[in-house]
Structure 1
């Protein structure tokens, strides 16, 4: 359990009320929260719980194995024996196949070794992003919990008054902006790794 798990437990009543107020009463016209709602496409409580569902350790655990597999591909490519003791068509065919296999294993952007290394780097980056995102939201939630808007919302009940609608919009804007900014960073990471989605040539 990290800080986000702890803060989220304390913030659950506030998040529930913010979602309830926004769903029932909406938010003031022209408020920044509308932009953030369109951007994230989740209510603040759902967005916070989506971040809490990120598990960086599960991603990070895959990195050593990916790097080991990349090294195994490189080692295998280097260990393929040359056709030095025989000649003729069979030797030429073997040498052609050996070079092709070595290239697929360890040469160029499309080789298995390169792709596994790039996947390991992506996993590293995603795990670090998850840690930053969780920590960032934990700090944002902690700040929101001590705000005047939070006091207004937690004290309210029933159909929200205009003051509560404004308070919910303020809290939601802060939380959704934090989540949205973090997810923009994740999109940049995935864009940088877009070559991994292209099929590897075979043969």
Structure 2
């Protein structure tokens, strides 16, 4: 539908630019919400791709698994092997690093933050598929509509010389509403998705732990070799 739909929506864009739309028409609110003309919306829909986002999500999950395996290597028992204030200070830092990396779905850890980002990428991929599907359905409906016939019968060259006729303006507005409405709904869903996921997508900084247990005047360290 890209070819015939693109041609029709470019006609719609030209009519709206040349003559606007009837006062109080729903298209004005949709134009404000979307911030683009119907032809631009179709072009955007043709460009969005879900597959790169799904690939990125899979890679992020693989990275999270790799970090989780590293976290397991940081969990060691030094009892009987290394004792003293040095061992205690090392254990504090080692434990803090292991907690920072994490091994599950806690978004307060590196592994959890990677998985949360993967979930967001996958949700965006679903959003792309849904937007393209909604736009395809909308275009399929408008290209065979009576309004499309009215626009095709209008002389495009005349738009540069005089305002479009009332029936042409009405037809363009009706088609624009049918295309812009699913786009407006989709963009609202994208903003809601971002707001919901944003707390788990922020940079997770590593904080150095506090000093380990204070040693005496002459701390002793024992290492079993």
Per the normalisation by structure 1, the TM-score is 0.93
C-alpha distance in 2 between matches for 1:119 and 1:198: 10
Aligned twin of 2:187: 183
Of Structure 1 and Structure 2, the greater helix share is in 1
Match of 2:2 among 8, 25, 36: 8
Aligned twin of 2:172: 168
Match of 2:196 among 192, 198, 201: 192
How far residue 197 of structure 1 moved from its aligned partner, in angstroms, is 4.2
Is residue 2:151 matched to residue 1:156?
no
C-alpha distance in 2 between matches for 1:17 and 1:90: 76
Is residue 2:123 matched to residue 1:125?
yes
Aligned twin of 1:88: 84
C-alpha distance in 2 between matches for 1:123 and 1:196: 12
C-alpha distance in 2 between matches for 1:13 and 1:62: 34
Aligned twin of 1:33: 27
Query: Which moves more between the two structures, 188-197 or 10-19?
Result: 188-197
Instruction: Map 1:21-170 onto structure 2 (within 5 A).
Output: 21-80=15-74, 81-84=76-79, 85-106=81-102, 108-157=106-155, 158-159=158-159, 160-170=164-174
Any gaps of 5 or more consecutive residues in structure 1? 1-6
Match of 1:17 among 7, 11, 32: 11
- Runs of 4 or more, structure 1, over 4 Å off, are none
Any gaps of 5 or more consecutive residues in structure 2? 208-225
Please say if residues 82 and 95 of structure 1, whose CA atoms lie closer than 8 Å, have aligned partners that are also in contact. Answer: no
Aligned twin of 2:221: none
Q: 1:63-100: per-residue Cα shift (whole Å, max 9, x none)? A: 22111111111111111123231111111111001111
Aligned twin of 2:216: none
C-alpha distance in 1 between matches for 2:41 and 2:58: 31
| Cα RMSD for the two superposed structures | 1.2
Per the normalisation by structure 2, the TM-score is 0.84
Larger radius of gyration: 2
Please say if residues 27 and 165 of structure 1, whose CA atoms lie closer than 8 Å, have aligned partners that are also in contact. Answer: yes
Q: Secondary structure at the match of 2:83?
A: coil
Q: 1:35-82: per-residue Cα shift (whole Å, max 9, x none)? A: 101110101101111121111011111122111111111111111123
C-alpha distance in 2 between matches for 1:197 and 1:67: 14
Q: Secondary structure at the match of 1:61?
A: helix
C-alpha distance in 2 between matches for 1:14 and 1:51: 15
C-alpha distance in 2 between matches for 1:117 and 1:197: 10
